[in-house]
Amino acid sequence: MAQLWGGRFTKETDRLVYDFNASIRFDRRLFHQDIEGSIVHVKMLAKQGILTESERDSIAAGLEGIREDVDAGRLVIDETCEDIHSFAEAELIRRIGDVGKKLHTGRSRNDQVALDMRLYIREQVIETDRLLKELLSVILKIMEENVETYMPGFTHLQKAQPVTLAHHFGAYFEMFKRDGQRMADIYERMNYCPLGAGALAGTTYPLDREYSAELMGFYGPTMNSMDSVSDRDYLIEFMAALSMVMMHMSRFCEEIIIWNSNEYQFVEIDDAYSTGSSIMPQKKNPDIAELVRGKTGRVYGALMSLLTTMKGLPLAYNKDMQEDKEVSFDALDTVKSCIVLFTGMLDTLKVNKERMEKSAMNGFANATDAADYLVMKGVPFRDAHGIIGRLVLYCIEKNTSIDALSLAELKAISEQFDEDIYEAVSLKTCVEKRLTIGAPGAEAMRRVIELHREYLKGDD
Ligand code: ARG
């Protein structure tokens, strides 16, 4: 057991206590950040005259050697150490001797772990944004190919008005775009360096916190040392943003599951993204979509867990905060793999344009447009609504659709109907007349698609 303390103790730590307290099993993930932070710390100490240049050089070289050896698989992270910080320091001292004992001057594990987590999460925020951008480009590609793929738009899962597949996917483009923007917001707020906060009250050494912050690409140092070691807001924000990503993917998955069903057959999930049944030979199940939907609960769990852990903690550092890691790492891994698989599933999704279009023609998705037609002929909207309601009832009884009725049948219900009704309620007209920005009409849609292209190019 390598532990960094013990001087004031007269007894060995109980084995169970040691294991319960240890975090190396999961904080080993912060190895690179820990080494980077330590190298910066000694550079700063030397610049301030707290360490000599030769002490700096041998500590930095020692740390770099540890990094190289772990990366190359020559050195195994020793899981009998209490945490990743103890491992790096013990290994350093083993390699370079007493000078290694100067590494921790003017630093506490409290600001050290706060730094390591920030460095790690900062990278992950960027990585999540990158994965979201890949998802957005696949969505955009599908939008571009389906500006004239007509389908029913739904409310209450009932056919409402015709839209296009481009428009439907466009809704998700907006959602995932906002998710990406949330990553950028989090980055802006979190990119301040806690190193130098010490255990809670700063240190008596003349540290140059601006310098450390600058070396690691932070905007500057954090402004309150107690807050610096106890702030997990940025992580909670990140979990909230990841929960939102999952919520959006989960809704999308739910639709794909419905659309992929035998009843709908709007889309077909590629064989590579489906699974079979061990008993029913005919089955091709949308397991990936279901798993993404299912894993959403797990990510929400991480958010709730962190909020609950933090809610009663007095300032400053408390060991409870060590609980920030396992759940957030798990949530992060989950979200990243879900985005990758979901992107692949969409990219290979087969769209059944005919089924969608046929479905949009049956089910009276053009009823509003038929009412609007009568309004254009001078009938007040409320009356037109009633007339079309009766027309729909007539069609249901005859098992037909508005556009399949003869002019005589139409005129029997309202004298206002003329030949031009067929054009007015055709699927194409219903969609293409919706031209205001944000609506599904092709012209409006193409303008939005152009904006999306610009956004993904990065010159938004
Ligand atoms: N493993 C601890 C954590 O994750 C590191 C900080 C420990 N500090 C302390 N005073 N015990 O929070």
Q: What is the 3-state secondary structure (H, E, C) of the chain?
A: CCCCCCCCCCCCCCHHHHHHHCCHHHHHHHHHHHHHHHHHHHHHHHHCCCCCHHHHHHHHHHHHHHHHHHHCCCCCCCCCCCCHHHHHHHHHHHHHHHHHHHCCCCCCHHHHHHHHHHHHHHHHHHHHHHHHHHHHHHHHHHHHHCCCCEEEEEECCEEEEEEEHHHHHHHHHHHHHHHHHHHHHHHHHHCEECCCCCCCCCCCCCCCHHHHHHHCCCCEECCCHHHHHHCCHHHHHHHHHHHHHHHHHHHHHHHHHHHCCCCCCCEECCHHHCECCCCCCCCCECHHHHHHHHHHHHHHHHHHHHHHHHCCCCCCCCHHHHHHHHHHHHHHHHHHHHHHHHHHHHHCCEECHHHHHHHHHCCCCCHHHHHHHHHHCCCCHHHHHHHHHHHHHHHHHHCCCHHHCCHHHHHHHCCCCCCCHHHHCCHHHHHHCCCCCCCCCHHHHHHHHHHHHHHHHCCC
- The pLDDT of residue 184 is 97
* Pocket of ligand 1 contains residue 110 by CB under 6 Å: yes
Task: Examine the pLDDT at 3 and tell me if it is beyond 80.
Answer: no
Residue nearest (by alpha carbon) to ligand 1 atom 2: 322
- Confidence class of residue 211 from pLDDT cuts 50, 70 and 90? very high
From 18, 82, 108, 110, the mutation candidate for ligand 1 (largest count of ligand atoms within 8 A of CB) is 110
* Pocket of ligand 1 contains residue 114 by CB under 6 Å: no
Task: Examine the pLDDT at 96 and tell me if it is beyond 60.
Answer: yes
Cα-to-centroid distance, 421 and ligand 1 (Å): 73
Residue nearest (by alpha carbon) to ligand 1 atom 12: 322
From 31, 34, 83, 325, the mutation candidate for ligand 1 (largest count of ligand atoms within 8 A of CB) is 83
Task: Examine the pLDDT at 280 and tell me if it is beyond 90.
Answer: no
- Confidence class of residue 2 from pLDDT cuts 50, 70 and 90? low
* Pocket of ligand 1 contains residue 321 by CB under 6 Å: yes
List the single range of 126-130, 236-240, 278-282 with lowest mean pLDDT: 278-282
- The pLDDT of residue 363 is 84
- The pLDDT of residue 460 is 46
Cα-to-centroid distance, 363 and ligand 1 (Å): 61
Q: Which atom of ligand 1 is nearest to the CA of 85?
A: 5
Task: Examine the pLDDT at 459 and tell me if it is beyond 60.
Answer: no
Average pLDDT over residues 163-192: 98
Cα-to-centroid distance, 5 and ligand 1 (Å): 12
* Pocket of ligand 1 contains residue 23 by CB under 6 Å: yes
Task: Examine the pLDDT at 157 and tell me if it is beyond 50.
Answer: yes
Cα-to-centroid distance, 321 and ligand 1 (Å): 8
* Pocket of ligand 1 contains residue 109 by CB under 6 Å: yes
* Pocket of ligand 1 contains residue 83 by CB under 6 Å: yes
Look at 427 and 70; give whichever has higher pLDDT: 70
Mean pLDDT over the full length of the chain: 95
Annotated active-site positions, please?
156, 277
- The pLDDT of residue 1 is 56
From 8, 33, 108, 113, the mutation candidate for ligand 1 (largest count of ligand atoms within 8 A of CB) is 113
- Confidence class of residue 11 from pLDDT cuts 50, 70 and 90? confident
Q: Which atom of ligand 1 is nearest to the CA of 23?
A: 1
Residue nearest (by alpha carbon) to ligand 1 atom 11: 319
From 322, 326, 327, 328, the mutation candidate for ligand 1 (largest count of ligand atoms within 8 A of CB) is 322
- Percentage of the chain surpassing pLDDT 70? 99
Average pLDDT over residues 102-129: 98
- Confidence class of residue 23 from pLDDT cuts 50, 70 and 90? very high
* Pocket of ligand 1 contains residue 113 by CB under 6 Å: yes
Cα-to-centroid distance, 205 and ligand 1 (Å): 22
Cα-to-centroid distance, 56 and ligand 1 (Å): 25
Q: What is the pLDDT of residues 362-387, one digit of tens each?
A: 889 899 999 999 999 999 999 999 99
Cα-to-centroid distance, 110 and ligand 1 (Å): 6
Task: Examine the pLDDT at 318 and tell me if it is beyond 50.
Answer: yes
Cα-to-centroid distance, 322 and ligand 1 (Å): 6
